[in-house]
């Protein structure tokens, strides 16, 4: 039986995504996206460790969220981030984005980018807290729903001011986040 959110302080483990996590990731993927990624797509992304970082958030043994990062030159691209609907509004997405942003900086990113549905105001607000600002719109980016994507960028993520921003976000997270080191090849 899945663990349900509780009022007591939450302990969330953020760990590198492994093959054994993919079925749980797909369960969430199928709940939150009209056209979910396939198992083979996740597995192919996991194989690209030099340019990718994929994470899962666990509460107990349950995967409650996941996120991905692709590095290109000096830019980190958040490829995906999703939280089990039962665990939304418990700062799981914040924890994942925090670890992804720090991983991008570790990999010498100077900027971060992502696309988000124009209708997803909650996600846009989260991204704004991480200094992402809108720079344009990609028409019909989400072909399955004919929805446009808002393109957002966070610049100068390699500067001390961004590290301070991330530290402040981390201080505002309730409960505990346990982060397992990400191995790169």
pLDDT at 4: 58
Q: Which of 115, 141, 147, 170 is catalytic?
A: 115
pLDDT at 35: 86
**Predicted TM-score (pTM) of this structure:** 0.92
CA distance 21 to 46: 11
Annotated active-site residue 142? The verdict is: no
Q: Which of 66, 127, 142, 162 is catalytic?
A: 127
> Where are the domains positioned within the chain?
11-108+160-179
| Order of strands, sheet of 176-179, starting from the edge strand that comes earlier in the sequence | 133-142, 147-155, 111-117, 75-83, 62-72, 52-59, 11-16, 176-179
CATH fold for domain 11-108+160-179: Aminopeptidase (3.40.630)
pLDDT in tens, the chain (185 residues): 565 555 678 999 999 999 999 999 999 999 998 889 999 999 999 999 999 999 999 999 999 999 999 999 899 999 999 999 999 999 999 999 999 999 999 999 999 999 999 999 999 999 999 999 999 999 988 888 889 999 999 999 999 999 999 999 999 999 999 999 876 65
Within 8 A by CB and 6+ apart from 53, the residues are: 16, 68, 69, 71, 100, 103, 107, 182, 184
Location of structure tokens 């089990």: 84
pLDDT at 1: 55
Annotated active-site residue 170? The verdict is: no
């Amino acid at each position: 039986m899945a663990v349900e959110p509780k009022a007591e302080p939450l302990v969330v483990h953020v760990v590198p995504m492994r093959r054994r996590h993919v079925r749980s990731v797909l369960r969430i993927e199928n709940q939150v996206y009209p056209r979910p990624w396939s198992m083979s797509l996740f597995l192919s992304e996991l194989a690209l460790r030099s340019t990718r970082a994929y994470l899962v958030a666990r509460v107990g043994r349950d995967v409650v969220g996941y996120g991905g990062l692709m590095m290109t030159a000096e830019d980190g691209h958040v490829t995906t981030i999703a939280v089990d609907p039962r665990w939304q509004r418990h700062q799981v997405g914040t924890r994942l984005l925090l670890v992804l942003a720090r991983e991008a900086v570790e990999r010498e990113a100077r900027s971060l980018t992502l696309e988000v549905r124009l209708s997803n105001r909650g996600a846009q607000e989260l991204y704004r807290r991480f200094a992402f600002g809108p720079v344009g719109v990609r028409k019909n980016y989400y072909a399955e729903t004919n929805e446009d994507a808002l393109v957002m960028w966070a610049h100068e993520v390699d500067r001390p001011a961004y590290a301070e921003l991330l530290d402040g976000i981390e201080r505002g997270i309730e409960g505990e986040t346990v982060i397992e080191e990400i191995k790169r090849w």
